[in-house]
Amino acid sequence: AESFEVLGPADPVAAVAGEDVVLPCYLKPNISAVDLSIEWLRVHTEDPVVHLYQDHEDRNEKQIPSYRGRTSLFPEELRKGNTSLKVKNVRGSDNGEYKCFIQAGDWYDDSSINVHIKAVGTHPVISIEGYKEGGISLVCESKGWYPQPQVVWMDSEGHGLPAGHTETHTDSMDLFTVRRRVIVQERETNRFTCRILQQQINEMKETITDIPGEMFHRAHPWKVAFAVFFSLGVPAIIILAVLIPRYIKQQREKRLLTKRLGK
Ligand SMILES: *[C@@H]1O[C@H](CO)[C@@H](O)[C@H](O)[C@H]1NC(C)=O
Ligand SMILES: *[C@@H]1O[C@H](CO)[C@@H](O)[C@H](O)[C@H]1NC(C)=O
């Protein structure tokens, strides 16, 4: 029986979403792996098969569905003991720890490889949602991030604004879409910044918006209601106060008249 060691990279492998990546793994000594069983697995997963090569062929019936059609070994490299795996069109869910497990009869060894997926999302888009709670509600959205980024709202001086919770969704590539709402009040400088921050990949994108001051004056519907009440309401009340008793009196006189005529 042959004995060998399975080696991989000491450092995590970085991969950009949408691109292809090679996960390195090789035998020491560099004996041929053509006749061996080569298994690429996800660690901490129930059905962990990413790629299986056995009896001289790929056997991917039990492969994790998200890897279907995206994995391959390098056939011409197997003879040199190179069992690296190519993963095409990398997606967010490919992030994590892998194992390269190689078996020859009773002998086996494995090596762990960490894959760090990175995706820099779109510039945030700020939209005005409308008037809310005496202020203006702004929404910030950015798509296509990995790992999940933070969303921060700031005033013109860079101070954080109290905002709602960050809504998070994943797209078909398992990348993150983030959305966060803030209700802003009129200030001296109505300039607001939405910053998307991903510290693990050292990326930041931000968008600044200026809200015209006049927009805030319409932000107080109760003020408008109040004004309407005083311009229309008070006269209306006076009119009603005069008309209602008059109407009641008329009705009573009418009734008395019919009674008298009926007799
Ligand atoms: C195996 O490694 C040795 C050096 O360690 C090298 O000389 C030889 O060419 C390698 N064999 C193959 C098939 O790559
Ligand atoms: C294994 O093969 C891949 C693909 O050709 C190559 O990028 C990588 O450098 C090889 N690794 C070794 C240790 O030879």
The segment with the largest mean pLDDT, out of 20-24, 214-218, 222-226, 238-242, is 20-24
Nearest CA to ligand 1 atom 7: 30
Q: Which residues contact 163 (CB under 8 A, 6 or more apart)?
A: 151, 152, 153, 180, 181, 182
Nearest CA to ligand 1 atom 3: 30
Q: In angstroms, what is the span from residue 218 Cα to ligand 2's centroid? A: 65
Q: Are strands 71-73 and 135-145 parallel, antiparallel or unpaired?
A: unpaired
Whether the per-residue pLDDT at 232 is higher than 70: the answer is no
pLDDT category at 155 given cuts 50, 70, 90 is very high
Joined tokens for residue 222: 């109760």
- Separation CA 121–CA 198 (nearest Å): 10
Q: What is the best residue among 4, 82, 83, 87 to mutate for testing ligand 2's pocket, by most ligand atoms within 8 Å of CB?
A: 82
Domains of the chain by range and CATH?
5-118 (2.60.40.10), 125-216 (2.60.40.10), 220-262 (no CATH)
Hey, CA dihedral for 156, 158, 164, 167, is it positive or negative?
positive
Ligand with the closest atom to the CA of 21: 2
Whether the per-residue pLDDT at 223 is higher than 90: the answer is no
Query: Which atom of ligand 2 is closest in space to residue 22's alpha carbon?
Result: 7
Q: What is the pTM of this model?
A: 0.78
- Say which residue, 249 or 201, is predicted with more confidence: 201
Q: Check residue 107 and give its pLDDT.
A: 94
Q: Check residue 241 and give its pLDDT.
A: 75
Q: Check residue 233 and give its pLDDT.
A: 59
Q: Which of 52-61, 195-204, 250-259 has the lowest mean pLDDT?
A: 250-259
Q: Check residue 214 and give its pLDDT.
A: 86
Percent of the residues in the chain that have a pLDDT greater than 70, as a whole number = 90
Q: What is the best residue among 4, 30, 31, 76 to mutate for testing ligand 1's pocket, by most ligand atoms within 8 Å of CB?
A: 30
Cβ(199) – ligand 1 distance below 6 Å: no
pLDDT category at 168 given cuts 50, 70, 90 is very high
Residues 107-152 have pLDDT tens digits of 999 999 999 999 999 999 999 999 998 899 999 999 999 999 999 9
- Separation CA 112–CA 103 (nearest Å): 15
Alpha carbon dihedral 14, 36, 54, 20, in 10-degree steps, equals 20
Please give, one letter per residue, the 3-state secondary structure of the chain.
CCCCEEECCCCCEEEECCCCEEECCEEECCCCCCCCEEEEEECCCCCCEEEEEECCEECCCCCCHHHCCCEEECHHHHCCCECCEEECCCCHHHCEEEEEEEEECCEEEEEEEEEEEEECCCCCEEEEEEEECCEEEEEEEEEEEECCCEEEEECCCCCECCCCCCEEEECCCCCEEEEEEEEECCCCCCEEEEEEEECCCCEEEEEEEECCHHHHHCCCHHHHHHHHHHHHHHHHHHHHHHHHHHHHHHHHHHHHHHHHHHC
Residues 18-68 have pLDDT tens digits of 999 999 999 999 999 999 999 999 998 888 999 999 999 999 999 999 999
Query: Which atom of ligand 2 is closest in space to residue 80's alpha carbon?
Result: 14
Ligand with the closest atom to the CA of 34: 1
Cβ(80) – ligand 1 distance below 6 Å: yes
